[in-house]
Amino acid sequence: MPQMLAQRLVEIAAPADRVRDAVVEYLDVADHEFASGAADTVRVPFAAIADDAHQQIHLTSHDDMTTLEVEATSEIRVPYFHWLFGGLIVAQLERRVDHTAANIRAAVFDEPRPAPLRAPLLLANVPFSQAQATMLACAAFATTMATFGGSLLGQNAQNVQDSFGIADSSLTRVLAISRSGALVALFVMALADRVGRRKMILVGLGGVAISNVLSAFAPDVYTLTVLQSTTRGFVGAAAIVAGIAAIEEAPEGARAFAAAMLTMAGGFGFTMVVVLLPLADVGQESWRLGFAISGLTLFLLPGLARRIHETRRYSDLSGRDVARGRAGEVVDRRYGKRFILLAAVGFMTNMLAAPSAGLMNKYLEDDRGFSNSGILGFRAVTTGLPGFVGIVLAGRLSELRGRRPVAAVFLSLAGLCQIGFFLSEGTLLYVFSILSVLAASCGGLAISTMGAELFPTEVRGTSNGMLLIVSVMGSAAGLLIAGMLSESLGGVGKAIAWCAIPTIVAALALIPFLPEPAGKDLDEISPTEEDVT
């Protein structure tokens, strides 16, 4: 496996013994740990990046001048995303050697020490093992592909409407009915508690690919609705089980970071759909190309199957005599209150999220005169960077300040900004959209992380499947309400603005009553039934 490396040579005007004492003090190693020979050498692990990261220090001296050579190495690899994280890891290794050299120099001359290093925004503050990094990368890849396949119908809603010649109310019913696929998701996610996370992620992605390929050739809107209901089910299963796997495998102190990486991956999948929107301008039926492209996921599954492994928590649990996948445990005395609160929050927030996501492009085209290319430009400005900032900010804030305050504050802000967006025009469209995307990214990540944390391993898939069902009911309700109100209020914009009120209520009145999982071990937050008894 290729090794990532960073090196620095520093000349220090001090004898070797003095520099050696400074190294012993800074690295907290015993003097005898230095290797003797032509150069004094010490090699120690450091937990800034990964479990296999090390730094090595060589000392050579001549008279009263000592040459300090600091070397930092890591062999960790990030499947699918090493093109991004490889460079970040090398940059952090370079910062590490500079920081180490500066600390040793300060110790030699009794100067103030430099401030402690913090991880870059896209690296965790705690180390990942190779197995943990591989799981997170594979889960992120699965989330990207699932989100891409699941976003096609919503982002092409106007094109589908034009292709089949249906009314606004019929379109909202198509979008609402397609969400009934959550029943498929519940079945697959319940199986994730019985047969494992790995198998169900692969099954979910395969289902998305097949149903989308068939959707590309749908002869009428009824066939498309049935097929997209199936797609939505497999999308929910693949994405949510991938999120569960990433959080179960993440080191303590990095669960929100893992959730942030998956949310970012989902945003990338959504962006891929938006980038393809100009294809719909080619012809009335060209929207079908995106669905066909989604089917190519089938060719990527063998590679994913080779890389992804079962989570350690699930493997440990499967070897014990613990009943798995029982819905009764989700609503029992210990976890029932959590489920009711999370279900209510999911229902109420999705009353806004579904019509906002599904009808946004239609609103921009019909009410604000955007073309498909114009929508692409608008989304590029208002979605990409704000969403990225919101996700990274949420990952850090959720670990430092807790999930509850982040979810409550930012979801209520997202609801207010959505109202502003759908009731404004001109420059304010951009301002409110940027703020709502940033806030929704923060709040959504915090609450979704809690959804995986607040239930034990043996029912984590089942509980999230049940929460998905309730959330989909909220999505359907929001879409139907927006469709009904659009005619009386004179457009979908004002109708969606009314759907933001339940989100604000949920954020301020329900989320504060959920338990706070930040700073606690996952098994402490939601122990298995066997451990409790």
Question: Which has the closest alpha carbon to 47: 243, 247, 254?
Answer: 254
E strand or H helix at 490, and its extent? none
Structure tokens at 149: 């396949």
Please state the rounded mean pLDDT for residues 488-510.
92
pLDDT for residue 6 is more than 90: no
Q: Which residue has the higher pLDDT, 206 or 263?
A: 206
pLDDT for residue 382 is more than 70: yes
Please state the rounded mean pLDDT for residues 453-482.
90
**130-532: CATH number:** 1.20.1250.20
Provide the CA 308 distance to its chain's centre, in angstroms.
17
3-state secondary structure of 446: helix
Strand partners, 68: 10, 59
Domain residue ranges of the chain, discontinuous segments joined by +: 4-108, 130-532
Q: Which residue has the higher pLDDT, 208 or 50?
A: 208
3-state secondary structure of 65: strand
Give pLDDT, residue 1: 52
Beta-carbon contacts of 440 under 8 Å, excluding residues fewer than 6 positions away, are: 353, 390, 410, 411, 414
Q: What's the mean per-residue pLDDT of the chain?
A: 86
Count of beta carbons in the 10 Å neighbourhood of residue 400: 12
pLDDT range class, residue 454, cuts 50, 70, 90: very high
Strand partners, 43: 56
Kindly state the DSSP code that residue 115 receives in the 8-state scheme: P
- HEC-encoded secondary structure of 329-382: HHCCCCCHHHHHHHHHHHHHHHHHHHHHHHHHHHHHHHCCCCCHHHHHHHHHHH
Kindly state the DSSP code that residue 383 receives in the 8-state scheme: I
**4-108: CATH number:** 3.30.530.20
- Burial annotation 332-369 (CB, 10 A radius, 16+ → b, else e): eeebeebbebbbbbbbbbbbbbbbbbbbbbbbbbeeee
At 178-209, the pLDDT tens digits run 877 777 787 888 888 999 999 999 999 999 99
At 100-143, the pLDDT tens digits run 889 888 988 889 988 888 777 778 878 888 899 999 999 999 99
Please state the rounded mean pLDDT for residues 356-384.
83
Q: What angle do CA 344, 347, 350 make, to 5 degrees?
A: 140
Torsion (CA) 261, 206, 310, 133 in degrees, nearest 10: -30
pLDDT range class, residue 37, cuts 50, 70, 90: very low
Burial class (CB in 10 A: 0-12, 13-18, 19+), 167: exposed
Please state the rounded mean pLDDT for residues 281-298.
88
Give pLDDT, residue 530: 59
